[in-house]
Structure 1
Amino acid sequence: RRGDLIGAMIVDGAKTVTEADVEVSEAVDFARYYARTLRETADELLDCRMEPLGVVVVTPPWNFPLSIPAGGVLAALAAGNAVVLKPAPEAVLVGSWLATCLWDAGVPREILQFLPCPDDETGRGLVTDPRVGAVILTGSVETARLFLGWRPDLTLFAETSGKNAIVITSLADRDQAVRDLVRSAFGHNGQKCSAASLAICEAEVYDDADFRRQLRDAAASLDVGSAWEPTSRITPLTQAPGAALRRALTVLDEGEEWLLEPRPATDNAQLWSPGIKLGVRPGSFFHRTECFGPVLGLMRAEHLDQAIELANAQPFGLTSGIQTLDDREIARWVDRIEAGNLYVNRPITGAIVGRQPFGGWKASSVGPGAKAGGPNYVLQLARWRQASRPAGDDARLPETTAALLERCVADLSDEDARALVRASASSYARAWRRHFGREHDPSAIRGERNVFRYRPWRRVIARGTSARPETAAALCQVLLAASVAGTRLTLSLSPDSRPWRWLAECEGVELVSEAEAGFVERLAHPGDAERLRAWEPISTAVRAAANGTGVTVIDAPVLANGRLELRWYLREQTVSRVVHRYGSVDDGGDRVR
């Protein structure tokens, strides 16, 4: 079926054969990877019971019409759900081929249904239908917010927008930087959420006339033409340029000039040659707006720290790259850049399932945030219940966690609650040692380092009461999980909570007591909080307030199982680094620093 699928992608989306062929391989990778995900984690989840979410609607984009819907459908099926695949209106043929392949492979039609429909009231009715347990969306952040506005209690897993930058320092290999930048910016005509839209160059590079000439020539040399021509590298856009892209292609803002001016084809309004802008200014339209097309902007930075600030100075955080041969610069950039997928001395597109799990930070992700093609993606598509206490562990707890545990159990009057909290602390610490506190490189490819790791959220708001034994135990579990993960908490307790005054003395915990009205007001101005962990049912007003400011609501039952509970206090990051120079492996650099 590979040839049929490639042909369908050329018809629907004007993809080149090269780009389409990779999508088929990625869909196969998703099938194999998700099939083994639960098997690989089964031994860590024996004390929990898994329940499907029910009916999951998969609403993929048109720019990756095969691999992204395949990933969503296969993950939802692996978690035991029924699936409704609603393809993008521009990619119905590819969606039909995907559904047919899965039906022919044995997936029952009752379990996987194919529902092409326009993005109008019909689509809205599908998303808001109460029989739908969850929606997997890949699209703009505006679409994600629209869905949540329609249905505030919607369980939404959304990979959204990106405005991605490659930083090029004076210590970069400039030949390599040009090659990787052109590939990242203009692959599939820039119609990738991971595409490089900005190149932030240190002054020495930006002012280098030879670098500019080389970049211009490389982009200008890309063949522009029909997707049916094997030599074409720039093909027609899938959609006519929208307002943002048309402005990017035709308008120069203050201080900008064309290094390479894009031109429309005389016989096809959707076919544009590549464009490169110089002089993009901080805070300008092009600096902060996703445009989704074949246009690249160059910014000038005096030094690396300023370049990092410019890359971070926007609401999105999907992919980011750096070009430098200096390990100190790499370490500084990796530590400070705010994005889900980081790339060092390589293109920033083309993430591979299992090797570079894909997903963003900030406004590039709406929902729980597990990366596609990563170890937690299938886990989030199910409900988990604690069936029994986790097995004990003789290993010592970290000192701060042990002290917190003793304070918790001292204030719990119920013996079962004390035993549960002790088992939880042990399980959290064990999960940290074995999984969350480690860097993972399962592909182990010589010459590359593809690290999957966890970073603490800047702040999590925790909300509930300690008025009853079971809610007091849940409060303790949340405190212990955040402590193990190293995540700061704002602990919002309802006024009926027990007066545990020592909570105000906990390191990394801000304690407040407030009724729901005050809590809703807090969510309207969340500061640096990015996530709400609730251990009691929350109202529609609370959900709407959180949705309105981009705070993800996690209201699943608090679990004693650390492999499942710690996910909510940490965000995922992939760091992919080339550690060879033209085939000569630098073993000393073969690690993330």
Structure 2
Amino acid sequence: MATTATDRKLLIDGEWVETGEWVEVDSPYDGSPVARVPKAGAAETRRALDAAERAMASPLPAHKRAEILVRVAGALGRRADEAATQIAAEAGKPMKAARVEVARAMSTYTMAAVEARKLAGEMVPMDASQAGEGKLAFTLRRPIGVVAAISPFNFPLNLVAHKIAPALAAGCAVVLKPASQTPLSALFLAELEHEAGLPPGWLNVVVGPSSEIGDVLVADERVKLITFTGSGAVGWGIRERAARKKVNLELGNATPVIVEADADVEDAATRCAANAFSFAGQSCISVQRIYVQSDVFDDFKARFLPKVEALVVGDPADEATDVGPLIAPGERDRVLEWIDQAKSGGATILTGGDLDGDLLRPTVIEKPAADAHVACDEVFGPVCTLQPYDTLDEAIALANSTRYGLQAGIFTASVKSALRASAALEFGGVTVNEAPTFRADQMPYGGVKDSGNTREGPAWAVREMTEERLVVLQL
């Protein structure tokens, strides 16, 4: 994947700045240099917070916020190829998946603009009690304050959009720390915001070590809300350290799928194959654990494996590629170790488990031990497991058997089974006859247990980023 390295700048207080030190961004596919980004530290982060605080002293009316968000969505549409190419270069995401991410980011901005226009409180029925007789009361939605946003590498455009767009819709200035592996898409979005007329200070982007930037964001009292997507250990650690702030966490999963005997097995196999290995499994809701009712287990396997083996592994810049590289060689090596552990524990590798050049081939593991990493931890790689079960209760228990609870799925022709599973699965979302990797950007998205404590999607995120103020009038 040939790239030409270029230098970028950070956005702080409406200015594009350099720091004299650099973060190197390299291609996950071939290690070639993609770009250099100025390395920020504590001083730049404090400067960004100063700018955000000043910006919020002059609030933007809702209609102006909405207009800016709409203009960003339009700019993304006009520059979609550029945005997708950049995602492929810095994240190693195949172009077909990168194009989907750009389209989704457009949707995220569009939905956030809608929320900016309709953000309002509600009436309180005061005369429902004797004490409230003769009074009128309502609530206002006010911006919570400066938002610190920390985003991961795997969706470097749309997960940034899910933090910036709702915050701006709510009237909150943002200091964004994108993943150091993939900061270019965040800076691209910042460029679009700047060109769309966002005043200085409302969005600031700093790139650098968490030990410096993150510590300032956690400690500085001007930050009222931290929104974090990433690993559970880091996320829950932030929440413990920032006890007086609102900390919204969207974390990992070990995504289960249940395939009942009455399901459309061909459709289930097709959807699972596509969603277990897209972007090399580097999604919080990538299909990982597939539980198939014993009567159709062999049928499912016979349909599923050819679809997996037909996936194209290769250069993410190639439009034909389905599965590209993991974000770093160390991650590839970790996943290989997990595969070897499962094999040593008695599991069968049905396909994959080895490298195609430097790329890990899509891997399907049958019947891993319950304590194998691939069965109970988040793989975050191109690996899924197959396991038969006899009863729906057994399948639900298996699906619930990890500490995670983001999304789960069930394939079945029975409404009764679908509703029963939806009630019993301990996850923030349950999909029926659709892979749980599915996400529409306007829907509430988030988990329970170790998978997080919030719901994203503009309508829900905007409300998280505002506070209710009660107003009582004596009539």
2:413 counterpart SS class: coil
Query: What does residue range 235-274 of structure 1 map to in structure 2 within 5 Å?
Result: 235-242=324-331, 245-251=335-341, 252-266=343-357, 268=358, 271-274=359-362
CA distance in 2, matches of 1:329, 1:383: 39
Cα deviation, residue 300, structure 1: 2.1
CA RMSD of aligned residues (A): 2.1
2:370 counterpart SS class: coil
Q: 1:6 aligns with which of 59, 84, 87?
A: 84
For residue 166 of structure 1, what is the aligned residue in structure 2? 257
For residue 449 of structure 2, what is the aligned residue in structure 1? 362
For residue 108 of structure 2, what is the aligned residue in structure 1? 30
1:373-398 Cα deviation digits (max 9, x unpaired): 2533201102222112799xxxxxxx
Which amino acid is 1:183 matched to?
Answer: A
Q: 1:213 aligns with which of 302, 309, 312?
A: 302
1:119-165 Cα deviation digits (max 9, x unpaired): 33333233322222211101111111221233332321110111111
For residue 150 of structure 1, what is the aligned residue in structure 2? 241
CA distance in 1, matches of 2:229, 2:92: 19
For residue 377 of structure 2, what is the aligned residue in structure 1? 289
Residues 104, 374 of structure 1: alpha-carbon distance in 2 compared, 3 angstrom cutoff: closer
Which amino acid is 2:365 matched to?
Answer: K
Which amino acid is 1:24 matched to?
Answer: V
CA distance in 2, matches of 1:76, 1:159: 16
CA contact (8 A) 2:95 2:321 kept: no
For residue 376 of structure 1, what is the aligned residue in structure 2? 460
1:392-416 Cα deviation digits (max 9, x unpaired): xxxxxxxxxxxxxxxxxxxxxxxxx
User: TM-score if structure 2 supplies the norm length?
Assistant: 0.76
Query: What does residue range 187-226 of structure 1 map to in structure 2 within 5 Å?
Result: 187-206=278-297, 208=298, 210-226=299-315
Is 2:418 the counterpart of 1:330? yes
CA distance in 1, matches of 2:337, 2:210: 24
Cα deviation, residue 38, structure 1: 4.9
CA distance in 2, matches of 1:235, 1:76: 32
CA contact (8 A) 1:2 1:21 kept: yes
1:137 counterpart SS class: strand
For residue 81 of structure 1, what is the aligned residue in structure 2? 172
Is 2:402 the counterpart of 1:314? yes
Moved more, 148-157 or 130-139: 148-157
CA distance in 1, matches of 2:473, 2:396: 45
1:73 counterpart SS class: helix
1:24-52 Cα deviation digits (max 9, x unpaired): 12222122212222544536268123332
CA distance in 1, matches of 2:254, 2:330: 17
Residues 34, 374 of structure 1: alpha-carbon distance in 2 compared, 3 angstrom cutoff: closer
The share of aligned pairs that are identical, in percent, is 27
Residues 211, 350 of structure 1: alpha-carbon distance in 2 compared, 3 angstrom cutoff: closer
CA distance in 2, matches of 1:98, 1:390: 47
CA distance in 2, matches of 1:311, 1:288: 10
CA distance in 1, matches of 2:284, 2:106: 21
CA distance in 2, matches of 1:385, 1:331: 38
Which amino acid is 2:356 matched to?
Answer: A
CA contact (8 A) 1:60 1:138 kept: yes
1:482-507 Cα deviation digits (max 9, x unpaired): xxxxxxxxxxxxxxxxxxxxxxxxxx
CA distance in 2, matches of 1:25, 1:350: 14
1:211-247 Cα deviation digits (max 9, x unpaired): 3232221111111100111111111112234375333
1:27 counterpart SS class: helix
1:299 counterpart SS class: strand
CA contact (8 A) 2:373 2:379 kept: no
Query: What does residue range 491-510 of structure 1 map to in structure 2 within 5 Å?
Result: none
Query: What does residue range 37-116 of structure 1 map to in structure 2 within 5 Å?
Result: 37-40=115-118, 42=120, 44=122, 47-116=138-207
Residues 350, 241 of structure 1: alpha-carbon distance in 2 compared, 3 angstrom cutoff: farther
Q: 1:128 aligns with which of 215, 219, 223?
A: 219
Cα deviation, residue 310, structure 1: 0.6
Structure with larger Rg: 1
Residues 390, 288 of structure 1: alpha-carbon distance in 2 compared, 3 angstrom cutoff: farther
CA distance in 1, matches of 2:152, 2:370: 30
Which amino acid is 2:92 matched to?
Answer: A
CA distance in 2, matches of 1:159, 1:341: 13
Residues 232, 390 of structure 1: alpha-carbon distance in 2 compared, 3 angstrom cutoff: farther
Residues 183, 294 of structure 1: alpha-carbon distance in 2 compared, 3 angstrom cutoff: same
1:60-96 Cα deviation digits (max 9, x unpaired): 1100000111111111111111101111101111111
1:289-340 Cα deviation digits (max 9, x unpaired): 0110000011221211100011012111111111112222212212211111
CA distance in 2, matches of 1:236, 1:69: 21
CA contact (8 A) 1:244 1:291 kept: no
2:320 counterpart SS class: coil
* Number of aligned residues: 382
Moved more, 47-56 or 131-140: 47-56
CA distance in 2, matches of 1:258, 1:381: 46
1:394-441 Cα deviation digits (max 9, x unpaired): xxxxxxxxxxxxxxxxxxxxxxxxxxxxxxxxxxxxxxxxxxxxxxxx
CA distance in 2, matches of 1:351, 1:171: 25
For residue 387 of structure 1, what is the aligned residue in structure 2? 471
CA contact (8 A) 1:358 1:374 kept: no
2:181 counterpart SS class: helix
For residue 317 of structure 2, what is the aligned residue in structure 1? 228
1:444-465 Cα deviation digits (max 9, x unpaired): xxxxxxxxxxxxxxxxxxxxxx
CA distance in 2, matches of 1:215, 1:96: 40
Query: What does residue range 542-557 of structure 1 map to in structure 2 within 5 Å?
Result: none
Which amino acid is 2:376 matched to?
Answer: R
Cα deviation, residue 350, structure 1: 3.3
CA contact (8 A) 1:351 1:357 kept: no
CA distance in 2, matches of 1:272, 1:121: 34
For residue 492 of structure 1, what is the aligned residue in structure 2? none
CA contact (8 A) 1:244 1:289 kept: no
1:176 counterpart SS class: helix
Residues 184, 5 of structure 1: alpha-carbon distance in 2 compared, 3 angstrom cutoff: same
Is 2:84 the counterpart of 1:15? no
1:336-356 Cα deviation digits (max 9, x unpaired): 1111121111222231122x3
Gaps of 5+ in 2: 1-78, 124-136
Which amino acid is 2:347 matched to?
Answer: E
Gaps of 5+ in 1: 392-593
